[in-house]
């Protein structure tokens, strides 16, 4: 099997396992949102932002969309800092969550290869300035944590890398409030 096919299979397996684990551990119901931050440069073995690979972006976006669709959750995609880490998602998700829409179309060198590929695959793509998602997957240390609602709970699975990139993820839980007299479920 060629390296490209092996990497494609690894990407699909890792994202399927990640989405499944996040939905299970984080009790994410259908309709929830999982945001993906990804550096194709890191996946390919280059330094973040220094070797964007649009072909990998296509594979990763498709794998994320497929994994999320299988569980009835929505995929969202974090752009790079050149678009202020805005989030690509279906317009219906943006409106249902009352998010602030911004105007740009992600490109591989201004937004990132994965968000650019996702933009092309979504039925009606939209760009939000920010989101507080139910969970997040970070491939390549893109610092996607800013888009998880408090309180983020790290989660580890058997996959800790995709290609050469670190795989980190977290889901959110409700914040505990109160003090010594508080009672929680």
Does 23 fall in a domain?
yes
pLDDT-based confidence at 178, cuts 50/70/90?
confident
Residue 115, domain CATH:
3.40.50.10360
Confidence of residue 185 (pLDDT cuts 50, 70, 90): confident
> What integer is the mean pLDDT of 62-82?
97
Tell whether 185 is covered by a domain.
Answer: no
Per-residue model confidence (pLDDT) at position 102: 97
Cβ distance 118 to 88 under 8 Å? yes
Q: In Å, what is the CA distance from 147 to each residue of 123, 143, 144, 181? A: 22, 9, 6, 32
The total of structural domains in the chain comes to 1
In a domain, 180, yes or no: no
- Look at residue 178 and tell me if it is in a domain: no
Under a CB-based contact definition with an 8 Å cutoff, are residues 128 and 71 in contact?
A: no
Q: Is residue 99 part of a domain?
A: yes
In a domain, 184, yes or no: no
Q: pLDDT band at residue 15, thresholds of 50, 70 and 90?
A: very high
Given this model, what pLDDT does residue 173 score?
94
pLDDT tens readout for residues 30-58: 999 999 999 999 999 989 888 889 999 99
Is the model's pLDDT at 175 over the cut of 80? yes
pLDDT at 96: 97
Residue 108 is assigned to a structural domain of this protein: yes
Residue 183 in any domain: the answer is no
Q: Give the confidence band of 1 by pLDDT, cuts at 50, 70, 90.
A: low
Report d(CA 172, CA 170) in Å as an integer: 7
Residue 23's domain comprises 3-172
Mean pLDDT of all residues belonging to the chain = 95
């Amino acid at each position: 099997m060629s390296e490209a096919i092996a990497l494609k299979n690894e990407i699909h397996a890792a994202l399927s396992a990640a989405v499944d684990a996040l939905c299970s551990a984080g009790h994410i119901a259908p309709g929830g949102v999982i945001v993906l931050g990804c550096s194709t440069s890191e996946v390919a073995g280059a330094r973040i932002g220094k070797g964007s690979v649009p072909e990998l972006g296509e594979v990763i976006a498709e794998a994320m969309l497929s994994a999320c669709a299988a569980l009835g959750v929505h995929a969202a995609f974090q752009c790079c800092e050149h678009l202020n880490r805005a989030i690509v998602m279906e317009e219906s998700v943006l409106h249902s969550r009352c998010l602030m829409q911004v105007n740009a179309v992600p490109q591989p060198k201004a937004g990132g290869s994965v968000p650019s590929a996702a933009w092309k695959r979504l039925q009606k793509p939209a760009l939000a300035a920010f989101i507080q998602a139910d969970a997040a997957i970070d491939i390549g240390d893109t610092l996607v944590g800013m888009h998880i609602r408090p309180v983020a709970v790290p989660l580890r699975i058997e996959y800790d890398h995709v290609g050469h990139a670190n795989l980190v993820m977290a889901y959110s839980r409700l914040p505990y409030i109160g003090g010594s007299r508080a009672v929680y479920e």
